[in-house]
Structure 1
Amino acid sequence: MKKYIAEVIGTAALVFFGCGSVTFAGMGDLLGSSTPFAPLAVIAISMAFGLTLAAMAYGVGPVSGCHVNPAVSVGVWVAGRLSTADLVGYIISQCIGAIIGAGVLYLILSGHQGGWDLAKSGLGQNGWSEYSTTSAFIAEFVGTFFFLVVILGATSEKGVTPVAGVAIGVALLVIHINLIRVTGTSVNPARSLGPALFVGGKALAQLWLFIVAPIAGAVAAGALFRAKVIEP
């Protein structure tokens, strides 16, 4: 059970600190604006997700590998590095962790004495409106594909190094910088699930894309490594 508990903790941390960077600082409003601070908001949020993942890679990585993402677990499974039983256990643990992380974030924000409106401010949920559904799907697919290429390469027998966690965190940071204005950047079904369950409405209606696209991208990357097309 240790690895499943580690996945719960790691995923909860990613959702809490990542989505918290959007909500606590009110950066969600800046993302859709043309103010000079908008680019800074993108960088700050991207760093929150990337650095949290890098930190948890060293915190829970030795126990579970720090997947903290169903798409990552699926990709690792397709690559032949994870059992089917663990795949199921990891995904369930990650979803539970994401809900806990979003729930704690919701509890803190709801205690704001100046008043906090969930419908208006959100919970750092994913979604798209300015781009088409096709664009959003491609963005999530491609982002997850390259993310898994980095993860599977950095954690392979010949590629693993003491700084693998940093490389993976930096990869997530860069993916966020590029895609955050398209979908809010998910590349992680659990990260999208947690906030969507609390926010509901559009976030819940669009959740399917943040499950299907990342998993499809992960399967594609995992298949390349399983076939040893790009594995070291």
Structure 2
Amino acid sequence: MEATQRYVAEFLGTLLLVFFGVGSAVAVRDEGGIVVVALAFGFILLALVYMFGPISGCHVNPAVTLGALLARQISLSGAIAYWIAQFVGAAVGALLLWILVKAGGVTDQTGVLGSNGYDENINLGGTILLEIVLTFLFVLVVLVVTSRVEQTAVAGVAIGMALAVCHLVAVGLDGTSVNPARSFGPALFEGGSALSQLWVFIVAPLVGAVLAALTARFVLGPNRSAARRT
């Protein structure tokens, strides 16, 4: 039962992250759209961390789960189950947005269901570098603050702020991924270039997560034990 609760938490958490975060990009109309989207992603993740953190750790991101796996905070079988729950949750969240656009009378302000992609604002190489660096920062913050008991009360704030900062930097460039599941959901329903470029937003964040996990070992030191083992 406990394992099922963790997987349901990851499914619901990723669904809500995609629906509210990507949904803000789909709906925003004003010139301050980048700030709105960044805050939407940051605030929804902050809320999710406090809601689902005690249940599953609130990864809601395959890159975070990979970092936790390498940091020995989760077992391989647990990580695989988390990945399945996250990708399915992201797909359902994107499906709800797709329904709003196709049948709910909502105008998609992005024109691509909020999917990630590189174009005239950034090329392939720049996108790979950007996503590696941003995901490195985000996953490192998650691994460090969740491994320090004294920071438990403020972990959600730090994690939410880190995600918001990533979006402030990259929304205008590639839409900001740092989360393969977040990229997968919208691309699945948008198709086209979003789907053909999806591999970048899966591979680059995972590379950033690996680098973050390796760095976390030095930041935390050898005496830090895993905060959660699932």
CA distance in 1, matches of 2:148, 2:107: 48
For residue 100 of structure 2, what is the amino acid of its counterpart? I
**Are residue 231 (structure 1) and residue 215 (structure 2) matched?**
no
* RMSD across aligned positions (CA): 1.6
For residue 81 of structure 2, what is the amino acid of its counterpart? G
**Are residue 84 (structure 1) and residue 76 (structure 2) matched?**
yes
**Are residue 151 (structure 1) and residue 142 (structure 2) matched?**
yes
Instruction: Find the counterpart in structure 1 of residue 224 from structure 2.
Output: none
Distance 1:184 1:196, change over 3 A: same
> Over residues 23-51 of structure 1, what are the superposed CA-to-partner deviations in whole Å (9 max), with x where a residue is unaligned?
123x4xxxxxxxxx53x110000001110
2:115 to 125, 132, 140: 125
CA distance in 1, matches of 2:152, 2:129: 31
| 8 Å Cα contact 1:144-1:217 kept in structure 2 | yes
| 8 Å Cα contact 1:78-1:219 kept in structure 2 | yes
Q: TM-score, normalised by structure 1?
A: 0.89
Q: 1:1-232, aligned counterparts within 5 Å? A: 1-25=4-28, 27=29, 37-38=30-31, 40-113=32-105, 116=107, 121-130=111-120, 131-158=122-149, 160-225=151-216, 228-231=217-220
CA distance in 2, matches of 1:151, 1:7: 16
Flag as ranges the 4+ runs of structure 1 deviating above 6 A. Answer: none
Q: TM-score, normalised by structure 2?
A: 0.90
| 8 Å Cα contact 1:139-1:182 kept in structure 2 | no
Per the TM alignment, residue 179 of structure 1 is displaced from its structure 2 partner at its CA by: 1.2
Distance 1:159 1:219, change over 3 A: farther
Can you give the 5+ residue segments of structure 1 that lack an aligned partner in the other structure?
28-36
For residue 3 of structure 1, what is the amino acid of its counterpart? R
CA distance in 1, matches of 2:152, 2:183: 30
Instruction: Find the counterpart in structure 2 of residue 33 from structure 1.
Output: none
CA distance in 1, matches of 2:151, 2:211: 21
Per the TM alignment, residue 154 of structure 1 is displaced from its structure 2 partner at its CA by: 0.6
CA distance in 2, matches of 1:67, 1:23: 24
